[in-house]
Amino acid sequence: MIQNQKILENKINIKFKNKKLLSLSLIHKSFDILSNNEKLEFLGDRVLALVLSKKLFNLYPYESEGNLDKKFASLVNRKTCLKISKNLELEKFLILGNTYKKNSKIEDKILSDACEALIGSIYLDSGYKVVENFILKFWNDEIKKSAKIEIDSKTKLQEYSLKRFQKLPIYKVLAYKGPQHIPSYKVSVKIYGSKFFFGVGNSKKIAEHDAAKKLLKDLKIK
């Protein structure tokens, strides 16, 4: 176990002062129901959120809250934490109960939770600056990808309408036709002071997005 921890420390380039914290971050509840990484995962989740929120806030000073929220969600979701966990090969260091030792595949949730638990242990052992550097290093590619994430038309219109008029856009289904497996919807949308714009699609959601896109185009909002 100690040898494995040294390998992990070298991989993340952090030397733990309290080795027990590192060990605890790798213990799944299937191995020890009382002393495991669940509380460290709880802490790590919050630390990760703080670091990435701060990074996005500084990186995109002119983005709307809605855009920042969407970028943030892409960085802290289970899929991204799982990817980081696999990049770090955390599955090689996890301490699991016999049930999991017999299986060739470890559940995705266990791996993503372990990533957050590791973050929690780094924070407790080395403080904010060290854990911030760790996160920004291993999330660097994902942060770059967040620049390409665009907010959808319906959300963009809602943000505009609330900010400008403190009112939500008004959508209305005007027509529904076609067989159940290939439906066709027609909807209208308007905001305060605008005319009606119309959208069509194979679902209500698609039709609403189409209508919102047309209204945004009329407002010259990209």
Domains and CATH numbers, the chain: 2-146 (1.10.1520.10), 153-218 (3.30.160.20)
Catalytic residue among 45, 125, 208, 210: 45
63: annotated active-site residue: no
SS (H, E, C) 138-205: HCHHHHHHHCCCCCCHHHHHHHHHHHHHCCCCEEEEEEEECCCCCCEEEEEEECCCCCCEEEEECCHH
Which of 198, 194, 202, 184 is CA-nearest to residue 219? 194
116: annotated active-site residue: yes
Say if pTM beats, i.e. exceeds, 0.75.
Answer: no
Q: List the pLDDT tens digit at each of the 222 positions of the chain.
A: 667 889 999 999 999 999 999 999 999 999 999 999 999 999 999 999 999 999 999 998 877 787 888 899 999 999 999 999 999 999 999 999 887 765 557 889 999 999 999 999 999 999 999 999 999 999 999 999 988 776 788 888 998 999 899 999 999 999 999 887 788 999 999 999 999 999 999 999 899 999 999 999 999 887
Catalytic residue among 41, 113, 116, 210: 116
Q: What is the dihedral of CA 171, 172, 178, 179, to 10 degrees?
A: 80
